[in-house]
Amino acid sequence: MAFESLTDDRIADLFNCPKQLTNPQARSKNKDGHEQKNYKVTATDGSGFEFEVYMRQNLREGMEDDFSCGIHWVAPNGECLTL
């Protein structure tokens, strides 16, 4: 598992590295009562880190104000960890 050896310093590196979207034209998908858009992101500092940023908007009646977003680190083995 890629996350067994994560240290606080490594997590800080993941948070603080400069990042750039690689698919700014990502499309929304409706899924389980919400609309979701996922962006692929890469570090621009040569570290090789890859991420995915997600945005979710609730579409259920009366819950349209519910919105969330987050970022996943995509480990080299393909596992994802929400930061």
pLDDT in tens, 14-62: 999 999 999 988 999 998 889 999 999 999 999 999 999 999 999 888 8
- Coil vs helix vs strand at 34: strand
Span 4-23, mean pLDDT? 91
Structure confidence at residue 2 (pLDDT): 63
Structure confidence at residue 5 (pLDDT): 78
CA 46 to chain centre: 19
Span 65-79, mean pLDDT? 92
Q: Does this model's pTM top 0.85?
A: no
Span 4-21, mean pLDDT? 91
